[in-house]
Amino acid sequence: MTRVIAGPFNRVEGDLEVALDIQDGVIARAEVTTTLYRGFEAILSGRPPSDALVIAPRICGICSVSQSIAAATALRNLAGGRAAPNGYLAANLAHAAENIADHLTHFYLFFMPDFARAEYAARAWFEPTAERFKAVSGNASAEYLPARRRLLEIMGLIAGKWPHSLAFQPGGVTKAIDIGERVRLAAILADTQVFLEQTLFGVSLDDILSMQTEEDLEAFRAKASGDFSAFLGIADDLSLRHLGRGPGLLLSYGAYHEAETSLFPAGIAGLGGVTPFDGSGISEDVAFSWFSDTAETPFEAETRPDALKDGAYSWAKAPRIDGKPMETGAAARLTVAGHPLITALIARDGGTSVRTRVIARLIETAILVHAMQGWLRELRLKEAFSTHFTLPDDARAAGLVEAARGALGHWVTLTNGKIERYQIIAPTTWNFSPRDRTGLAGPLEQALEGVETGALGAKSAALQHVIRSFDPCMVCTAH
């Protein structure tokens, strides 16, 4: 048995270290370490509730709008208020823009460059892949980054700037969109659609949205020439559908809410189907985390650092629902929503895999562009974009939303008009959870067990694929 430490594990958002016990070229045990703690929950306590809208987004520079929307949702729920219908729609437009940018940044800058590693030099697909996706110098990033810049112009119109905006408020958004701005938003979406259709997919979004079965996906791969089908070819060659299987249960809080509905529903999916999720049953355990013991439910818990705690190995807590770890992200969102293709892939493979996580993310970009075009049409430009209401002095409420990487929750308690307690569980807290007191490993830790690293140990590309397939956001994880 050899113990190796992989880190700094880069091309993820933030700082990640993974300790691996390797036996005969196979990972026997993995410990996932979040190496940074900044203490946002402690910084938030004692402040007026509206300060959460300044501070919470600054947890994360890549999913800042998601953090804003979780905070604004929690504040809105504290008051039992409603946002203006336009407010939900405008916030959804910005949120979806961020999430598309995150999915594509993951694909083009973080994930695909691993297939350009020298380890794959003998593969038939290596040369074109290296030319396209080699880190820093590959030609795909020179096409993707301008498309990203154009997409993020949505932020200039709705959010003032990105990252870190105060536009997202409990009652909606701070800026009314006028008739000219709606046209400009539509033009940006049209350009994003062109990038997706011509560069990523090589087919129309309608073709992507109509895929229902593995056979549809295979037919697409055979005819399309974009970056997605290139990935599918590599995935087949490397059997990525058998790599990095998740722990089984998939969690979504539901995403892109309006007053009564949401684009994606909340739920927990397992191989037996989808069960409803009502927000209860969530706990956080600190047995292997650098924190003092505390209550387990997020409304009651404190976050008190203990950097020298014996046996601990991460700044992340271990979230569970009814004692079970959950995988979260685009694959979970689409499975809970009953997407036929993603559901079929997971059923066939017996769980999530490196391949399915990537497929779900890219398909979701097509779904979101389509949804955004609908939200843009639904805006009633003559009506308000924000309601205004007073927050109570004493109340508690949660804001449960979905970031690109999955389930994001803020739990807030107000006392005498100030934040008494603020607890956050981020998507990668779920996915990259350490063990809990029963010794149960987190989703990535489970997905890494049994992965073959051969003689390459921590340098093995398979290890890189499994870890990056979750698109971890480590800065959110421990916050």
The residues in 300-329 that bind another protein, with binding defined as CB under 8 A, are 305, 307-308
- By CB under 8 A, tell whether 179 contacts another protein: no
Peptide bond into 427 cis (omega under 30): no
Q: How far is the CB of 427 from another protein (least distance, A)?
A: 15
- By CB under 8 A, tell whether 186 contacts another protein: no
Q: Which of 88, 107, 111, 144 binds another protein (CB under 8 A)?
A: 144
Is the Cβ of residue 51 or residue 207 nearer to another protein in the bound state?
A: 51
Q: How far is the CB of 250 from another protein (least distance, A)?
A: 26
Is the Cβ of residue 56 or residue 363 nearer to another protein in the bound state?
A: 56
Q: Which of 20, 133, 127, 107 is nearest to 354 (CA)?
A: 107
Site for another protein in 246-305 (CB under 8 A): 305
Q: How far is the CB of 412 from another protein (least distance, A)?
A: 16
Q: How far is the CB of 416 from another protein (least distance, A)?
A: 14
- In the shown chain, the binding pattern of residues 22 to 41 toward another protein, with x for contact by CB under 8 A and - for none, equals -----------x-xxxxxx-
- By CB under 8 A, tell whether 405 contacts another protein: no
By CB atoms closer than 10 A (0-12, 13-18, 19+), residue 127 is exposed
- By CB under 8 A, tell whether 15 contacts another protein: yes
Q: Which of 441, 440, 393 is nearest to 417 (CA)?
A: 393
Residues contacting another protein: total by CB under 8 A: 89
- By CB under 8 A, tell whether 172 contacts another protein: yes
Q: Which of 28, 55, 186, 287 binds another protein (CB under 8 A)?
A: 55
Q: How far is the CB of 240 from another protein (least distance, A)?
A: 19
Site for another protein in 57-86 (CB under 8 A): 58-62, 64
- By CB under 8 A, tell whether 17 contacts another protein: yes
Bridge-partner residues for 262, per DSSP?
A: 257
Bridge-based pairing state of the strands 250-257 and 327-328? parallel
**Quick one: which segment of 8-16, 75-83, 227-235, 396-404 binds another protein (CB under 8 A)?**
8-16
**Quick one: which segment of 168-176, 233-241, 267-275, 431-439 binds another protein (CB under 8 A)?**
168-176
Q: Which of 123, 242, 348, 388 binds another protein (CB under 8 A)?
A: 388
- By CB under 8 A, tell whether 386 contacts another protein: yes
Q: Which of 79, 312, 384, 395 binds another protein (CB under 8 A)?
A: 384
Locus of tokens 């590309």: 461
Cα→Cα distances 364→196, 263, 335, Å: 11, 12, 11
Task: Write the DSSP string, 317-331.
Answer: -EEEETTB--EESHH
Task: Write the DSSP string, 402-424.
Answer: EETTEEEEEEEEEETTEEEEEEE
Cα gap 445→432, rounded to integer Å = 7
Is the Cβ of residue 64 or residue 356 nearer to another protein in the bound state?
A: 64
Is the Cβ of residue 220 or residue 422 nearer to another protein in the bound state?
A: 422
- By CB under 8 A, tell whether 103 contacts another protein: no
Site for another protein in 146-165 (CB under 8 A): 146, 148-150, 152-165
Q: Which of 260, 312, 318 is nearest to 285 (CA)?
A: 318
Locus of tokens 């049209």: 190
Contacts of 34 (CB under 8 A, 6+ apart): 14, 15, 16, 314, 315, 316, 432, 474, 477, 478
Angle subtended by helix axes 227-237 and 214-223, to nearest 10: 110
- By CB under 8 A, tell whether 16 contacts another protein: yes
DSSP state for residue 276 in the 8-state scheme: -
Site for another protein in 332-371 (CB under 8 A): none
- By CB under 8 A, tell whether 166 contacts another protein: yes
Cα gap 53→165, rounded to integer Å = 8
Q: What are phi and psi of 430, to 5 degrees?
A: -65, -55
Bridge-partner residues for 26, per DSSP?
A: 23, 452
**Quick one: which segment of 6-14, 317-325, 350-358, 420-428 binds another protein (CB under 8 A)?**
6-14
Q: How far is the CB of 455 from another protein (least distance, A)?
A: 14
